[in-house]
Amino acid sequence: MRKLVTVLGATGIVGSKALEIVRKNQEKFHVIGISGHSNISLLVRFALEFAPKYVVVSNLLLRSELEQKLNNVDVEILCGEEGLAFLASQKTDILIAAITGFAGFEPIFRAINSGTDIALANKEALVAGGHLLMPLAKKKGVNIIPVDSEHNAIFQCMMGQNWSDVDNITLTASGGPFLSMNSNETQKIPPSEALKHPTWSMGAKISIDSATMMNKGLETIEAAWLFNIGKEKISAVIHPQSIVHGIVQFKDKSIISHMAPTDMKVPISQAMAWPERVKIEIKEIDFLEVESFNFLEIDASKFPCFELAYQLIEEDPCYSVALNAANEIAVHLYLDHKLEFGDIYTLVAKTIDMIEMTNLDDYQSIIDYDRYARNIAISMKF
C-alpha cells in the first residue's frame, strides 16, 4: 500500500527534496496535497507532476495567479491560512512539515488533531508550541518523526533502545560560515556572506540561524520536546565535517552515533518511509577521504544566541515563544539590511527581557503571544 503524503512548504529546500523522494519511489508514496507561499511557478510544476488532490498557496495575494495557471487542471485550489489549515486537517499517512518559521505551527496543530503522523522539519513550531503539540500528539497516538538531521540521527540511534538507559545526547553543529571569525569581524557582515553555509544547502532563515548558531540553540529546545528529556541530558558540539549528526551515550557508557552524507535526503527519506527505508542515490562517504573528525566546544562569547536559547529549556514557554518570534523578526530585518548581524542577538535578548508572562496552555494563547512578542521586537530601535 502506498503511503498518502501531504507536503507543507513543498516549494522550499526540504519540501522539494521530499517530493524528489516521492518521484523516485512512486510505488511507495502518493501525494495528496502540497503547499507553497510565494513560488507559484514551482508550485504549479509540482501540481502538474504529482497531480495532488489539493494545492494551497498560503499567500492570499497569489490566489488568482495560481487559479489561472491551473485553470484546466483537476485539482482543488485553496488559499491563505485557512486553506493551509484545511489541507493539514485532511487525514493522510504522513505530513511533511517543511514550512519555515512559526507559520507552520497552526497546520501542525491541525494535522496532529486529525491523527496524521508528522515528519517534522519545522523546528520553530516545536520551539514555540512543544508544550502543547507533544502532549497532543501523545493523546492522539500521532508519531512525530524528526527530519532535522541531528534529531533524526538521535531517533535512529534510539531504535531498539530505551530512554531510561540514556545518560545524555549530543547534537552536532557545523559551526556555520563564521566559525573562524570573532564577533568584531562579524558584527557588520552582510547577508550575502552569512547565507554561504559551508556544508548544507538550506533556506535563507535557517542559514542565518546557522551563522548565529541560534539554530543549534533552537535545536536543543526541539530535542527537549521531541525526546522528553531535560537540559542536563542535552549538549551540542561543533563538528565541522558534518558527518556525525547525533550521539547518544548510555548508562553503561556505550555510545551510539549516527553518520550520513551531508544531504537532507537521508533524514527526510528515513522519516517519510519509517519504519521502512527507501533507497536514495547520493554521494556516499568515503572514509579514506575523510582526513579528520573534529569536535569543538561552542564558544558562548562568540555565539551568544546558542547560549540564550539553551538556557530556556524547561523554562516557562513564554520565553521560547518570544525567543522564536524575536529571532524571526531579527533575521527578517537583517536579510532586509535593516539590522546588523551582531544585533540579531541583542534584539532577541532585549525582547525576552521585556515580555510579561502569561498562561500559554491553549492553541490561541500561543498564537496571540507570538504576535505580542513580534510587536515588542519590531518596536525595538537600533
Give min distance, CB of 286 to ligand NDP, in A: 22
The reply to whether 328 sits near Mg ion by the rule CB under 5 A is: no
Q: Are 231 and 171 in contact (CB under 8 A)?
A: no
Helix (H, G, I), strand (E, B) or coil at 172: strand
267's grid cell: 533524514
User: Residue 56 or residue 96: which is nearer to Mg ion going by CB?
Assistant: 96
Among ligand NDP, Mg ion, none, residue 129 binds (CB under 5-8 Å by kind):
none
User: Residue 204 or residue 285: which is nearer to ligand NDP going by CB?
Assistant: 204
User: Residue 92 or residue 122: which is nearer to ligand NDP going by CB?
Assistant: 122
The reply to whether 148 sits near Mg ion by the rule CB under 5 A is: yes
Neighbours of 252 (CB within 10 A): 7
Among Mg ion, ligand NDP, none, residue 216 binds (CB under 5-8 Å by kind):
none
Give min distance, CB of 142 to ligand NDP, in A: 19
Neighbours of 300 (CB within 10 A): 13
User: Residue 146 or residue 304: which is nearer to ligand NDP going by CB?
Assistant: 146
Helix (H, G, I), strand (E, B) or coil at 373: helix
DSSP 1: -
Tell me the C-alpha to C-alpha distance, in Å, between residue 269 and each of 20, 123, 174, 265, 333.
10, 17, 22, 6, 34
92's grid cell: 493522510
Give one DSSP letter per residue of 97-137, joined into a string. Answer: E---SGGGHHHHHHHHHTT-EEEE--HHHHHHHHHHHHHHH
Q: Which residue is nearest to ligand NDP (CB)?
A: 12
Give min distance, CB of 27 to ligand NDP, in A: 26
User: Residue 6 or residue 11: which is nearer to ligand NDP going by CB?
Assistant: 11
List residues binding ligand NDP (CB under 6 A). Answer: 9-15, 36-39, 58, 98-100, 103, 121-124, 148, 200, 202-204, 206, 264
Give min distance, CB of 351 to Mg ion, in A: 23
**What backbone torsions phi and psi does residue 96 show, to the nearest 5 degrees?**
-85, 110
User: Residue 99 or residue 157: which is nearer to ligand NDP going by CB?
Assistant: 99
How many residues make contact with Mg ion (CB under 5 A)? 3
Q: Which long-range contacts does 300-305 make (Cβ < 8 Å, 24+ apart)?
A: 301/183, 302/182, 302/183, 303/212, 303/213, 303/216, 304/345, 304/349, 305/212, 305/213, 305/214, 305/217, 305/344, 305/345, 305/348
Give min distance, CB of 1 to ligand NDP, in A: 28
Among ligand NDP, Mg ion, none, residue 98 binds (CB under 5-8 Å by kind):
ligand NDP
Among Mg ion, ligand NDP, none, residue 100 binds (CB under 5-8 Å by kind):
ligand NDP
Q: How far apart are the first and last CA of the chain?
A: 56
Give min distance, CB of 184 to ligand NDP, in A: 28
321's grid cell: 515563544
The reply to whether 209 sits near Mg ion by the rule CB under 5 A is: no
User: Residue 148 or residue 343: which is nearer to ligand NDP going by CB?
Assistant: 148
* Interaction site with Mg ion (CB under 5 A): 148-150
